[in-house]
Amino acid sequence: MEYNIDLKPYNTFGLNCKAKEFLRLRTEEDLDLLQSEYGKQTILFLGFGANVVFVDNEFGGLVAKLENKGIDVKEEDKNFCSVEVEAGQTWDDFVDWACERGLSGVENLAGIPSSVGAAPVQNIGAYGMEVKDSITYVVVFDLKENKFITIKNEECNFAYRNSIFKYQEGNLLIWKVGFCLSKNFTPNINYKALEEKIKKENIVSLTPKLIAQKVREIRNEKLPNFKVLGNVGSFFKNPVIEKHQYELLKKDYKDIVAFDSGEKKKISAAWLIEQCGYKGKRIGNIGMHDRQALVMVNYGGASGEDVLHLAHQIQKNVKEKFNIDLNIEAHII
């Protein structure tokens, strides 16, 4: 156990916060100590720290940081490869591992700052792919029952940036994730920005590795590097609204950016925020990125209060202008 640990290096937003207690989880033996703390104090599981917003200067409980690493091939045949990956593994290293072997299923998710264990929580998705489509199961350690449980994909209730792991009581620690990767590669290039890039560069022979490279290039063109400008990726979710509300909005805003989402319409939150004048706008130490209006950036020294103030201002303006509720995607602590 470590005490009074500065969490700034452990959150990509670069917010100042101190953890009263801090525990690194590397092996199953480390879970004994964690389990003995369960019920005594609030426990926060921390992966890469790429989706957390520490609004207070102090976290009064225990931060348990996942540092278990490893990729284990469980089974393979000529079509598929089943792997089990430890939760503390860096997501992008796993993507590289798969792409190097010509395995597909996660290549469009290249470059996402995350740990493998955090990936199922919000069902990370980008460039036309969601992690739910390659996950087969999630192994959790149940602190309440003091045992491991395997949760099958169908039981995870995966949806757009959502899963059962968002609504648990804090007793389920994701320890390993099982994936099924394919050896029969069919490129997924339906996402407009990716399709355009591949056409423009005249790429004919695609591989998972090449897709991952192109996705990283697109990300680098518009998303800020958290090492330079602190951020948590998309700050809000793209709102999903009824079709009739969309039709009404379309009359007033011809260029509104929207995508089909079942019977409903998913509206680009970046577009909504941009229309309200926040793209590239800076208020003190905080602002919305100048190349992607959905990404809140910390210019250095921003406080949790600054973050929430700007977030609420944007939510209010979007509601007034479009009558749409923007929900925060990041995990507010």
Distance CA 279, CA 222 (A): 12
Q: Find the part of the chain contacting ligand EPU (CB under 6 A) among 35-43, 179-187, 205-213, 286-294.
A: 286-294
Does the active-site annotation cover 303? no
The span from the CA of 257 to the CA of 250, in Å, is 9
Among 89, 115, 188, 234, binds ligand EPU (CB under 6 A): 234
Determine if 257 is a binding residue for ligand EPU (CB under 6 A). Answer: yes
Applying CB under 6 A, does 293 fall inside the site for ligand EPU?
Answer: yes
* 234 included as an active-site residue: yes
Given 115, 161, 163, 219, which residue is catalytic? 161
CB of 255 to ligand EPU, least distance (A): 9
Q: How far apart are CA 211 and CA 110, in angstroms?
A: 9
Question: Among this protein's residues, is 329 annotated catalytic?
Answer: yes
Task: Using CB under 6 A, count the residues that bind ligand EPU.
Answer: 18
Provide, for the chain, the percentages of residues in helix, strand and coil under a 3-state DSSP scheme, each rounded to the nearest 5.
30, 30, 40
17 counts as binding ligand EPU under rule CB under 6 A: no
C-alpha to C-alpha distance for 83 and 204, rounded to whole angstroms: 29
Check residue 279 for interaction with ligand EPU (CB under 6 A).
yes
| Position among 71, 164, 193, 210 found at the interface with ligand EPU (CB under 6 A) | 193
Q: Give the x-and-dash track for 63-82 against ligand EPU (CB under 6 A).
A: --------------------
| Distance in angstroms (rounded) separating the CA atoms of residues 11 and 17 | 9
**Quick one: tokens of 216?**
């990283």
Using the minimum distance from each CB to ligand EPU, give the nearer residue, 268 or 285: 268
Q: Is 126 in the site for ligand EPU (CB under 6 A)?
A: yes
Contact 332, 55 (CB under 8 A): yes
Q: Which residues contact 175 (CB under 8 A, 6 or more apart)?
A: 31, 68, 86, 87, 117, 139, 140, 141, 148
Q: Which residues are catalytic?
A: 161, 234, 329
